[in-house]
Amino acid sequence: MKEKVIVAMSGGVDSSVAALLLNQQGYDVIGVTMKLYSLDQTDLPDYYRGCCTLDDVEDARQVCRILGIPHYVLNVQREFETFVIDYFCSEYEKGRTPHPCIACNDKIKFSFLMNRAISLQAKYIATGHYARIEETSNGFTLKKGLDPTKDQSYVLFGMDQQELQHTMLPIGNFSKDSIRKMAQDAGFSNALKPDSQDICFIPFGDYKQFLKDRLGTKSTGEIVNTEGEVLGNHDGIEYFTIGQRRGLGLATGDPLYVLELDHQSQRVIVGPESSLYQKETMISKVNYVSGIPPTEPINVQVKIRYKAKESPATLTPTSNGASITFNEAQRALTPGQAAVFYKDDLVVGGGIIEPIHKEQYEIQSLVTTCPD
C-alpha cells in the first residue's frame, strides 16, 4: 500500500514540484492549499508577490489536475488570524520586530496541517521549503538546502523530532533553476511564476498603515537619547524598529539611530550608530532540533535575521533559554527576530532575540530625572 503524503501547495512553483517529485516516487499524494488570509476583494498592485489569492488556489488546482491527484482547500483564516496576525501586531505593539513566516510555519503549516494529516490517515506532510531532513542513528536532523541562495532552514528552526519524522522536504537537494525546469517539463503554468516576497497579509508592503488600521490610535511617547534627554515625540513605538534612522523627525547635527523601544515607558531611545553594535544577547523560546540541549557552551554560527550572513559565536545554555557571545560585534540585534544556530549546514536550533539595552537606559533615565 502506498504511503499517503499531504503536500502543502501555495500555488507556487516550489510546492508544485514537491508534489511532482513525490508523485513520481510512488507516494499517494494529496494536494492541500491552506486559505490563510482573504485578498479576494483587494485591488492588488502589479508587484504583489504573495500567496493568498484565488489565482494561487487555481494554480495549485491545475497542478494537481495535471498530476492526477486530489486537491483540497482548507480554510485556516481563523487560526492564521490568531497565531500569526494577532501575534504580529502584538509584538510590534511591544516594540519588537516579529518574523510572521516563522509563526506561520510553526503554528499553521506544521502543527495544524500535521493534525489534519492524521485525520486523513496520512503518514507525512510535505512542503516546498529549500531545506533537508535526514535520518541518523540519533534521530532526525535539519539541514540547509543545497542551493545557498534559496536556503530556508532559518524559518524552520522550530521543528521538533516528531515533526521532522513526519515531514518531507523534496526540493531541498535542488537549485531554483532546476525546479523551474522540472515544472516546465511537466507543463505547469506556474513554472515561471515569481517567488513570493511580500508578507502575504500586507499586499502593499506598508506595515505601518496595516498596524494603524488594526491597532487604531495608540499612546504617543518621547524620543530620548541615551542620557534620557527628550529630543522629540512619536506616534507609537510600533512604527519603529532597531537600527532605523529615517523617519525620526529629529533636527540634530549628527545622525541618530533607534537603539531601543521601551514598551513600558513608550520611549524610543536613539543614539549614534556605534551604539547599535553588541557582542552579546539573550535568546528566549529556544528550540534544539535534536530535542537535547547542550550541557556546556558550544561554538556555532548564528544568523540573526533571514537575509543576514552567519557569524561565529559561543552558545551557552541557560535555565530560561540561551546566551550568545559573538566573536565580533553585530549591528542592530533586534528583539523579536529569530537567532538561528548552525554547525556547518546543520541546524542546531534557534530562538527569539531579547532586548539588551533596557537596564542600561533605565538606570541612565532615572539618574537624569531625579530632582536635585
Residues with a catalytic annotation lie at 104, 200
**Cell 487604531 identifies what position?**
216
Q: Rounded to whole angstroms, how far apart are CA atoms 167 and 147?
A: 20
Pairing of strands 4-8, 338-343: unpaired
Cell of 123: 503518514
- Dihedral sign, Cα of residue 103, residue 345, residue 126, residue 200: positive
Are the C-beta atoms of 159 and 201 separated by less than 8 Å? Answer: no
Check residue 108 and report its DSSP letter: I
Nearest by Cα to 336 from 269, 254, 272, 281: 281
The b/e string for 273-302 (b: 16+ C-beta within 10 A; e otherwise) is: eebbebeebbbeebbbbbeeebeeeeebbb
Identify the CA nearest to 290 among candidates 139, 124, 72.
Answer: 139
Bridge partner residues of 337 (DSSP): none
